Structure 1
């Protein structure tokens, strides 16, 4: 337990230093800061992985079922995707925006209980179906975060081009076409994960392990369906209508804000999804 606490604090500290170094690079176009941020981020990934493994051994289950674990696993997924983006695509500022979001949500975990589930909830929630549901949902959130980061960069770069602010920094954003494509691909990958996750959640709720019913007007249920409909509309506009550009980047960014509100806020009024954030 003590080792886990030390690793957690060290992870938060190094993650904050990584984001700060990326911020310095963003402001000053500083390649040394960028390399330092990357190495900090790599160490963070190793520490996060060790922390998750220790917690799995400690509680003898996958560490996904408490609000604290959900946010930590999300942050791990974001760091993993950031390292992949950094290695294969070299869009420096995309990694920065992704990790601003990832670190912000991981920082929320500082205010959450770090202990295990109560025996009653552990018996209810320790289900392969529910674990798969949670895993798919969190991975979909990570994918939507990548799409959001691409959309933010698209909007910023669009304004820079509109105001004729040329320079080396502009080149490191990646082209508008690339950001538009990445945003679409990330959304395309995340949407089926979210859809499957929601379906599995419904199946679990009606199964012998669940509650045998779903209050359809519960805020969490309505919020999740709203996210599915909103992102479904985005994909329809992109694929069927062929819409591109600034308006679709803004649409995607708004979708992520709705998703974030659903994840962080609706559980306050939910009588169904009470073990989430």
Structure 2
């Protein structure tokens, strides 16, 4: 059964948006974010169920499933289990990571399926996977850049207030509490976007069949970026660290982002196109 990939693209993007809301709920205990995440995930489940039912109906005369059907059923089962757990238990972080796995498996099934036709006739299916991967990565870098700007503002304002320098520039800035809150929100958005971008990147490497690409300097450094911001969130959420120390750490994490974007691309085997 040949299927236009717009249906699967809708699943991928809604799945990604659902994960953002789920992570926001974990970080801020937001009931509205949880409802949005659950609603989007439920819609993904409905689309998966409809496609799976049509696919299975097409195989009624056969005794064996093709590989894509098995992987798709596994992804559907993960979404189903996560919805049940989300309904009856309060373990948001578990649901988030389970769905990151489901997100990667769904992408593997979609972009590894030879019967999926790209939206653009000039593209291959892997080109769409790469497009989504790059879109998510750019989104995460934009969020981290905004977080770094806010952290810079925090350090500046903190130093000015400490020396009691109440200039006009200082008076026009938001409060330290608001700046810290905006920084935190930016990292909450950037972190899951980068995690999903990396998961799709791993899927792309798997489909390309060259596992050595996982040892590429940019890939390795991207995991360091993810670890740096995960530690930022850990400090804020679990260690209750705030203020200038957290802002300085966020600036240090952004230095790794810059290192990843500049230095790694110069020595990367398959990210050098950025400079072309």
Give TM-score scaled by structure 2 length: 0.53
For residues 203-261 of structure 1, the C-alpha deviation after alignment (integer angstroms, 9 at most, x for no partner) is: 01111xx3532434321111101101111111111111111000100000111111011
Cα distance in structure 2, aligned partners of 1:163 and 1:157? 10
For residues 124-152 of structure 1, the C-alpha deviation after alignment (integer angstroms, 9 at most, x for no partner) is: 79611110000000011110111000000
The answer to whether the Cα contact below 8 Å between 2:126 and 2:204 also exists between their aligned partners in 1 is: no
Matching of residues 89-238 of structure 1 within 5 Å: 127-207=127-207, 210-238=208-236
Partner of 1:83: none
Q: How many residues align?
A: 154
Q: 1:254 aligns with which of 252, 255, 258?
A: 252
Cα distance in structure 2, aligned partners of 1:204 and 1:273? 13
Gaps of 5+ in 1: 1-121
**1:164 partner SS:** coil
Give TM-score scaled by structure 1 length: 0.53
Which of structure 1's runs of 4+ aligned residues deviate more than 6 A? Answer: 122-126
The answer to whether the Cα contact below 8 Å between 1:129 and 1:200 also exists between their aligned partners in 2 is: yes
Gaps of 5+ in 2: 1-121
RMSD of aligned residue pairs (Cα, Å) = 1.8
Cα distance in structure 2, aligned partners of 1:213 and 1:276? 22
The answer to whether the Cα contact below 8 Å between 1:155 and 1:249 also exists between their aligned partners in 2 is: yes
The answer to whether the Cα contact below 8 Å between 2:140 and 2:190 also exists between their aligned partners in 1 is: yes
Higher CA-based Rg:
2
**2:165 partner SS:** coil
The answer to whether the Cα contact below 8 Å between 2:158 and 2:244 also exists between their aligned partners in 1 is: yes
**Deviation for aligned residue 1:276:** 2.8
For residues 89-128 of structure 1, the C-alpha deviation after alignment (integer angstroms, 9 at most, x for no partner) is: xxxxxxxxxxxxxxxxxxxxxxxxxxxxxxxxx9779611
Cα distance in structure 1, aligned partners of 2:212 and 2:192? 21
For residues 140-182 of structure 1, the C-alpha deviation after alignment (integer angstroms, 9 at most, x for no partner) is: 1110111000000000001100111013321211100000000
Cα distance in structure 1, aligned partners of 2:126 and 2:148? 32
Matching of residues 67-78 of structure 1 within 5 Å: none
Cα distance in structure 2, aligned partners of 1:271 and 1:211? 15
